Amino acid sequence: MPRMRIRGPEGTSTITLSDDAKISDLISEIALKTSLTNFDIKYGYPPKPLLLSQSEPSLPLSKLDIKLNGEQLTISSREERKSGGSPKSTSPSDSKTSSIPPKVKDRQTAEAKSFSFSGMHGDAKNTSDSAPPVALSRKRGIAGDVPEIPIPELQATLVLRVMPDDNSCLFRAFGTAVLPGDDLSMHELRSVVASTIQGKPELYSKVVLEQAPDDYCRWIQTSDAWGGAIEMGILAEAFGIEVVCVDVQSLSIHKFHESGTNTRCVLIYSGIHYDMLALSPFSSTPENDIRVFDKSDDTIIAKAVELCSKLREKHYYTDTGGMAIKCKDCGVIVHGEAQAAAHAQQLGHYNMAEVDT
């Protein structure tokens, strides 16, 4: 069944149509989700007009030259909403927050701004070139049993749900929490990021992205592109949920989209990888995991830090500041992200792996 994410003037939603759905069905669903009667539709990146009016309303979507399954459609109004309601109000604190792009001032990334293991950038600086981020594979997963934190008062256990090392771990971790069971979420989430960046050029500039925005948008939509703080901030706001990210090595806590939401999910950052925390009811299976939590209760965050402390004891993190890194292009071994960044900039070698020495 075709599935699309709709991004309208008042937020995002998802529509699922039958396999034999027609153009008229799609238009009706968009009108229902957005409360708009007269609207323009754009898709893809760069956004291109979807001119459905040039085809018969009875034409099946499967007959279109464009494959819409998994696409994000951006909807803009041609006139006032049919409901006559006013746009969502924004509190002063929300306005202030929305003018600042999400980023993390992390000591591990302070030395090499052009070297992006994960997108968790420090203070950005303007660069003349848009070099591709370094692709780094980690050498280890977790040794032995994955730590768990029982929470008897909740009749459940806090568990780490480990994501595959497939360059989409952030998107997969977020999608597993917010869109469980959705096989299309990786593509959709990348598309949400790209369209948001393109729609807010004053916020997501070359200085912030450390790369030309158009290049960044093309890159983040590839399967090899890693996500980080920028992506977490965008996705948190797009889905109306607070994202709490706990760093295994430092046990520091970073929050994204703190205001205007009542729920949160918790991700675990281990240097160059993201996993997800879930609350598993006693004697249950992962299908019954609780992945989204009430923001008013900080018990889960406290227990998440406790779990990360156990992960740190097992050295379940990558020390990007001092680890040994082997260049897969020429075989040289460097130490730390600063040396790796210099090597990449000098020789154009961007394919590297963490190794033991």
By annotation, the residues acting in catalysis are 166, 169, 273, 349
Query: SS3 for 328?
Result: coil
* Total residue count of the chain as it appears in this document: 357
327 with 351: CB under 8 angstroms?
A: yes
CB atoms within 10 A of CB 312: 16
Q: How far apart, in whole angstroms, are the C-alpha atoms of residue 349 and residue 133? A: 10
Q: How far apart, in whole angstroms, are the C-alpha atoms of residue 313 and residue 274? A: 18
Q: How far apart, in whole angstroms, are the C-alpha atoms of residue 229 and residue 258? A: 14
Which tokens hold the place of 162?
A: 């480990």
Going from the C-alpha of 123 to that of each of 28, 110, 310, 354, the distances in angstroms are 45, 7, 30, 25
Nearest alpha-carbon partner for 282 in 159, 177, 146:
159
Give the burial string for 283-293 (b: 16+ CB within 10 Å, else e): eeeeeebbbbb
Q: How far apart, in whole angstroms, are the C-alpha atoms of residue 346 and residue 348? A: 6
Only one residue has tokens 């071994």, namely: 333
Q: How far apart, in whole angstroms, are the C-alpha atoms of residue 51 and residue 41? A: 7
314 with 144: CB under 8 angstroms?
A: yes
Q: How far apart, in whole angstroms, are the C-alpha atoms of residue 210 and residue 126? A: 6
CB atoms within 10 A of CB 169: 23
Q: How far apart, in whole angstroms, are the C-alpha atoms of residue 298 and residue 5? A: 31
